[in-house]
Amino acid sequence: MPGTGIRTVAELAGVSIGTVSKILNPGSSANIRVSAETREKVLAAADRLGYRPSYGAKLLRGESTRTIGFAVTLPGDHTDTYLSNYTFRLLNGIGREASRHHYQVLLIQGEDYRYYMDVKRIDALVLIGFPLDSNPLTDQMRGLFEHFNARNYPYVVINNQLPGVTAAGIGVDNRSGMRQVAELIRRKGYESAGFVGELTPNPQRHHIERVRCLREFLAGSGCTFDDARILNGCGNGVPEVPRVGRYSHADGQAGLRYLLDNKLLPRCIVCGNDDIATGLLKAARAQKLRIPEELAVIGFDDNENAEYLEPALTTIRQPLEEFGRLAVSHLLDKINDPARTIQMTIEPELIERSTT
């Protein structure tokens, strides 16, 4: 109906303009103070009049969109559209906490999310960390965070390890995780250990840090952890495995084959994540290796499939859903108090199962 507005809806429903505003703004926590009967009257009136709130008008007025962006790639990067189990777990935590506060989540892939913040298309932003050891977009990332920091935007990066860049962040304590792994290896008395990460020219900084910490904690233990058994990257005979997103079961399969072919199989293999460990276990079964009697395997993340593998996977539990919840909680605090910031490192937990 031409000229229909919120006042017309209120008159037809017999309620105040404020009541209509509360009901037609699904993000408003004030909705809970409106009776179901009143809500039905307002929705029926709006439907009869064909009235819909103008989202564009809200943006022009600078009002809250009650939307949190979740960016899974860098601006301009349309290649990594694969949403891994890791990403879904973060999204589960983000989504639940956002919904609890009557916010929605907008998934952003490959778009320039600086624009989303600048025009207030979203109120806040969660970004997945940029894990590559050598990232050609480092300067772009530095500029992005400087842009956000200068404007005091509400944002947080999960598992960000970018050197020289100040960014609000929540991440896992890799050092603590590898200390727990080393303690397990010592307790079990394994005489040798290896590591299988991503077999790519540009592996994750997380995996590089885990190798460094594991080497430190195994020093003097009687367990050898030599370079020949550390497969993190490719070259010098180590095959390159094409990426499917950031994570690949094929890394584990190719890694085990390489170690067997070169007679380098250690007593225990630590994997960069559970996907790699899953691929490695499949290859081990094909080779009829007894787990854990001949080969012990340890993962990282504790995804929902880890305990259902046969045998069940020993792994380091990274509380990704909690990361997502904490990220949203911080963003809402930041919206209300712009002076807030966050730099949080969370200690993971060893979950010992049947592969060790």
CB proximity list for 238: less than 8 A, separation 6 or greater: 199, 231, 258
Cα-based distances in Å from 329 to 241, 294, 347: 38, 45, 19
Q: What does the alpha-carbon distance between residue 315 and residue 356 come to, in Å, rounded to a whole number?
A: 10
List the domain boundaries for the chain: 6-53, 67-172+321-347, 174-317
Q: What percent of the chain lies above the pLDDT cut of 90?
A: 52
Q: What's domain 6-53's architecture?
A: Orthogonal Bundle (1.10)
Query: What long-range pairs does 116-119 form, CB within 8 A, spacing at least 24?
Result: 116/69, 117/69, 117/148, 117/151, 117/153, 117/155, 119/59
pLDDT digits (tens, 9 = 90+) for 111-143: 777 778 887 889 999 998 766 666 666 777 778
Among 62-76, 162-176, 234-248, the least confident range: 234-248
Task: Give the DSSP H or E segment for 152.
Answer: none
**Which residue do the tokens 């809970």 mark?**
32
**Closest by CA position to 25, among listed 67, 75, 80, 77:** 67
Per-residue confidence (pLDDT) for residue 195, from 0 to 100: 98
Report the CATH fold assignment for 174-317. Rossmann fold (3.40.50)
3-class state of residue 146 by DSSP: helix
DSSP string, 203-238: -BHHHHHHHHHHHHHHTTSS-B--GGGEESS-BTTB
Q: Comparing 67-172+321-347 with 174-317, is the CATH topology the same?
A: yes
Residue 304, phi-psi category: left (phi > 0), alpha (psi -120 to 50), beta (remainder):
alpha
Q: Mean pLDDT in the chain?
A: 86
In the structure, what pLDDT confidence band is assigned to residue 48 with cuts at 50, 70 and 90?
Answer: confident
Q: What does the alpha-carbon distance between residue 327 and residue 164 come to, in Å, rounded to a whole number?
A: 22
The structure tokens listed for 115 are 């624009």
Predicted structure pTM score: 0.81
CB proximity list for 202: less than 8 A, separation 6 or greater: 132, 133, 134, 135, 233
The structure tokens listed for 354 are 């049947």
CATH for the stretch 67-172+321-347: 3.40.50.2300
